[in-house]
Amino acid sequence: MAEYTWKSPTVRWVDERMPVFTLMREHLVDYPSPKNLNYWWNFGSLAGIVLVIMIVTGIFLAMHYTAHVDHAFESVQRIMRDVNYGWLVRYIHMNGASFFFIVVYIHIFRGLYYGSYKPPRELLWMIGVIILLVMMATAFTGYVLPWGQMSFWGATVITSLFSAIPLVGDDIVVWLWGGFSVDNPTLNRFFALHYLMPFIIFALVFLHLWALHTKKSNNPLGIDIKGPQDTIPFSPYYTIKDLFGLGVLLIFFLGFSFFAPDFFGEPDNYMKADPLQTPAHIVPEWYFLPFYAILRAFTFDIWFLSAKLLGVIAMFGSILILLFLPWLDRSPVRSGRFRPVFKVFFWLFVLNCFVLGVVGGNPAEGFWIPLSQASTAYYFGYFLVILPLLGIFEKPLALPSSISEAVVSKGHSPVPEAAE
């Protein structure tokens, strides 16, 4: 990287002693980015911004929130009615959780389609999967805090999952609860964890970016950067594009926060938790529905494994399997653009995730049960059967020889082929 001399003497003084400005310049300005990134590449930076929004709104909520079973529900209602702009802060935090998942899910599907998990970005991908897991734990603990009916019963059902673990399951559940049911000790520790985990995510995002900037961004063609002619600096080109994307996101995000703030929520959560009254139909937040469907797809025992344990294993497995994806899909071609057969199965996979979501939101009875089983089978089949086989049998299309060649239209001055 070319030596850069900072004009401001103050900046220079700091930078000589601790090169933060040089570091920021290197990663936010000079960072060589592929020329051909499309809008699907906006979602990483959007996720980062939503994380910051969640942390800021969360800290302001915490100033008014009381983590006690006798006061939690009332303190959230107070935030909504009496605290100045409390309604705004809470609605942004509530809808922010939904938009965080929308953005991150798109970001993940982007990676799945363009093969961003393939060498040399396996570790980058795996850190992403860990971020997803911590995000889920954060959202789950956060949803318990307002201490409504869904908070309480969602927490009861999900923590009870651990009782499926043989031998120690019941002890683990009591340990998680700090008592014999979801109660005050549970609410307290969930608040402590809910405050902590976003900062862990923040640290993980730095590792994610470190891995990214070591091996550089993938791109829609899925081919390597071969030289400077394939790249443009991150600033101003992608900073401005990311800002435009942010504007679009905020239109939707704030649109929901202002005009349909409870669209993603459950009316039952405006009733205070009652340990004696289970709501007729317990559903998790929408972003957990596909996994909830997988959990409930197992209605039969296999050998010594109970249906309950199988459901739990499958649910956690459905996320953990992503960690192994770089070794399940062995096709050397990254981008789905050049994989005619993969493309079909990929879009079926996306569709199948929506089907799982719909199934998860409906009662586990009637035809929903075989449907949940079929879509669970496709979910796992995609990773365990289809991708490994495609890696062997699929005949990919011819790849362009370089990013710049594919991007620069005919008639322009030919770009010198860089030596690899």
Partner 1 sequence: MADSVSSPSGQQDEGETRRDFLLVTTATVGVVGVALAAWPFIHSMNPAADTLAVATTGVDLAPIDPGQRITVMWRGKPVFISHRTEAEIEAARAAALGDLMHPEPDDARVVEPQWLVVVGVCTHLGCIPLGQRSGDPRGEYQGWFCPCHGSHYDTSGRIRRGPAPTNLEVPPYEFVDDTTIQIG
- Known catalytic residue at 213: yes
How far, in Å, CA of 27 to CA of 38, rounded?
20
Residues 145-164 that bind ligand HEM (CB under 6 A): 145-146
Closer to partner 1 at the Cβ: 279 or 336?
Answer: 279
Binder of residue 275, out of ligand HEM, partner 1, none (CB less than 5 to 8 A by kind): partner 1
Bridge partners of 231?
34
Residue 225 Cβ vs partner 1, minimum distance, rounded to whole Å: 42
| Per-residue H/E/C for 131-143 | HHHHHHHHHHHHH
Which residues are at the interface with partner 1 (CB under 8 A)? 153, 156-157, 159-161, 174-181, 183, 185, 189, 275-278, 280-282, 296, 299, 306-308, 363-365
Task: Identify which of 378, 369, 363 has the alpha carbon closest to the alpha carbon of residue 307.
Answer: 369
Catalytic position from the list 116, 285, 318, 375? 285
Binder of residue 299, out of ligand HEM, partner 1, none (CB less than 5 to 8 A by kind): partner 1
Long-range contacts of residues 162-166, Cβ cutoff 8 Å, at least 24 apart: 162/312, 164/306, 164/308, 164/309, 164/311, 164/312, 165/309, 165/312, 166/309
Binder of residue 214, out of partner 1, ligand HEM, none (CB less than 5 to 8 A by kind): none
Binder of residue 408, out of ligand HEM, partner 1, none (CB less than 5 to 8 A by kind): none
Q: Which of 111, 198, 360, 396 is the binder for ligand HEM (CB under 6 A)?
A: 198
- Known catalytic residue at 242: yes
Closer to partner 1 at the Cβ: 96 or 284?
Answer: 284
Which CA distances in Å does 290 have to 159, 307, 374, 376?
A: 18, 18, 13, 9
Residue 102 Cβ vs ligand HEM, minimum distance, rounded to whole Å: 12
Residues 39-98 that bind ligand HEM (CB under 6 A): 51, 54-55, 58-59, 61-62, 65, 76, 90, 93-94, 97
Residues 287-306 that bind ligand HEM (CB under 6 A): none
Catalytic position from the list 241, 268, 372, 404? 241
Binder of residue 77, out of ligand HEM, partner 1, none (CB less than 5 to 8 A by kind): none
- Known catalytic residue at 217: yes
10 Å Cβ neighbour count for 397? 11
Which CA distances in Å does 234 have to 3, 30, 34, 253?
A: 18, 6, 9, 26
Closer to ligand HEM at the Cβ: 35 or 78?
Answer: 78
10 Å Cβ neighbour count for 13? 10
Closer to partner 1 at the Cβ: 184 or 229?
Answer: 184
- The answer to whether the CB of 282 falls within 8 A of the CB of 153 is yes
- The answer to whether the CB of 360 falls within 8 A of the CB of 285 is no
Closer to partner 1 at the Cβ: 80 or 307?
Answer: 307
Residue 308 Cβ vs partner 1, minimum distance, rounded to whole Å: 6
Task: Identify which of 140, 38, 151, 43 has the alpha carbon closest to the alpha carbon of residue 100.
Answer: 43
186 binds ligand HEM (CB under 6 A): no
CA dihedral 235, 240, 243, 249 (to 10 degrees): -120
How far, in Å, CA of 229 to CA of 32, rounded?
10
> What are the backbone angles phi and psi of residue 232, rounded to the nearest 5°?
-135, 155
Residue 363 Cβ vs ligand HEM, minimum distance, rounded to whole Å: 23
Catalytic position from the list 33, 98, 217, 402? 217
Residue 111 Cβ vs ligand HEM, minimum distance, rounded to whole Å: 20
- The answer to whether the CB of 22 falls within 8 A of the CB of 54 is no
Backbone conformation region of residue 216, classed left if phi is above 0, alpha if psi is from -120 to 50, else beta: left
Binder of residue 183, out of partner 1, ligand HEM, none (CB less than 5 to 8 A by kind): partner 1
195 binds ligand HEM (CB under 6 A): yes
* Encoded tokens for 225: 């950067």
Q: Which of 34, 128, 142, 336 is the binder for ligand HEM (CB under 6 A)?
A: 142
Task: Identify which of 25, 228, 203 has the alpha carbon closest to the alpha carbon of residue 130.
Answer: 203
Closer to partner 1 at the Cβ: 296 or 337?
Answer: 296
- The answer to whether the CB of 264 falls within 8 A of the CB of 95 is yes
Catalytic position from the list 242, 266, 268, 329? 242
128 binds ligand HEM (CB under 6 A): no
Residues with catalytic annotation?
A: 213, 217, 241-242, 285
Which residues lie near ligand HEM (CB under 6 A)?
Answer: 51, 54-55, 58-59, 61-62, 65, 76, 90, 93-94, 97, 100, 135, 138-139, 142-143, 145-146, 194-195, 198, 201
